[in-house]
Structures are given as structure tokens and as C-alpha cells.
Structure 1
Amino acid sequence: RYWGWDPKETWALVTILIYAVVVHLRFIKSIYSEFNFSVISLLSFTSVLMTYFGVNYYLAGMHSYAKGDPVPIPDFVPVTYTILFIVIVVAFRNRKLA
């Protein structure tokens, strides 16, 4: 059937599309800077983590270990995003302006 992909295949496509944006960001001179590139690269890595851990353990599908149980959000997810946000803010304050 059309669009019969399971969650693992869909998230793999999402990860590829996100990294295509990261790779092509350097061609957009108005928003490209080393800081922006680093932040977007750091945040895009979370799509890889979602593809590997999130889909395997929390979403039911052909390539996962989940059995259709309710999707709990682990406690470390908000903590991790909070830490990433703090690192980005500290890096923004300490960046060198060219």
C-alpha cells in the first residue's frame, strides 16, 4: 500500500532530511555562521537518537521492541534538552563575533 512505512523507516527519512538541511546550510550566507552551524548540528543529532532509541523502544513497529504499549517519555529526555539549552545559551554568550 502507499506509505506503508513503519516508524523506523519514517524516522530514518526524517533524519536524512534534517541532515540535508545541515549540509546545505552553508549555502545560505545570511544565516550561516559557525555558531548557527554548531547549534543546528547539535540539535539535529537528536533526530539520530530518536531514530535509534525512541523508535526501537517507544514506538511500535516492525523494527522495534515496543509492543504497542503507551508511549512513556523517559525522565532523562527533558533533562537532556534542558542541558542542551543551557550549553547553547552559554556558548551564545561566549561566542566570538567576527
Structure 2
Amino acid sequence: MISIIVYSFIIHSHKIPAFRSFFAFNTMALLGLGSILMTYFGVNYYLSGLHSYAGGNPVPVPAMLYITVAALLILVFYARVKTKKG
């Protein structure tokens, strides 16, 4: 359900004047991909609860995940700066 809501917002965002640029669409597409990965890996494996298939303690979040998120944020901000200049 969350994935459908996220991607329906991305698909219909062209109707909102602030989100009509290619930069906004590409950034939302990256966030959409991140939400899909979170709903698959995060809910099923990293969070312990009703949706978790692994019983017991939750699996620790890998450090590479934080590095990847930081690198994507830096890339988005760099693209924004380059978009504003050009």
C-alpha cells in the first residue's frame, strides 16, 4: 500500500507546479526506489515485528546503508547546485 501511494504521488506530481522540473522528478524517483527497498528489506528483515519473517532479535543495519544514503544525498545536492547554475 505504501509503495502504491509513493509511486502514485510521483506519477501525479507533474500536476503540481513546483514539481514539474526534471530534477524534482528524478529526486522523487530516487526516493521512490528507496521506499521500495525499505518496504522489502526493512520491513521483512531489519524490523522485528508482525511482518518480520525472522523470529527473534532484529538484524543490525549494515553501515554501508548509511554511507549509500549519505552519498545519494550529496549527489542530489550537487545536482541541484549544477541545475541552478546551468
Q: TM-score range by the shorter chain?
A: 0.7 to 0.9
Q: Relative to total residues, which structure has the larger helix share, 1 or 2? A: 2
Instruction: Report the equivalent of 1:7.
Output: none
* TM-score for the superposition, normalised by structure 1: 0.72
Instruction: Report the equivalent of 1:90.
Output: 78
In structure 2, C-alpha distance between the alignment counterparts of 1:92 and 1:29, rounded to whole Å? 17
Figure out how many residues of one structure are paired with residues of the other and give that number.
86
Instruction: Report the equivalent of 1:15.
Output: 3
In structure 1, C-alpha distance between the alignment counterparts of 2:37 and 2:75, rounded to whole Å? 18
* Gap runs ≥5 in structure 2: none
Aligned Cα root-mean-square deviation (Å): 2.3
Instruction: Report the equivalent of 2:68.
Output: 80
Q: Which structure would you say has the larger RCO, counting Cα contacts within 8 Å and 6 or more residues apart?
A: 1
Instruction: Report the equivalent of 2:17.
Output: 29
* Gap runs ≥5 in structure 1: 1-12
In structure 2, C-alpha distance between the alignment counterparts of 1:30 and 1:62, rounded to whole Å? 38
* TM-score for the superposition, normalised by structure 2: 0.80
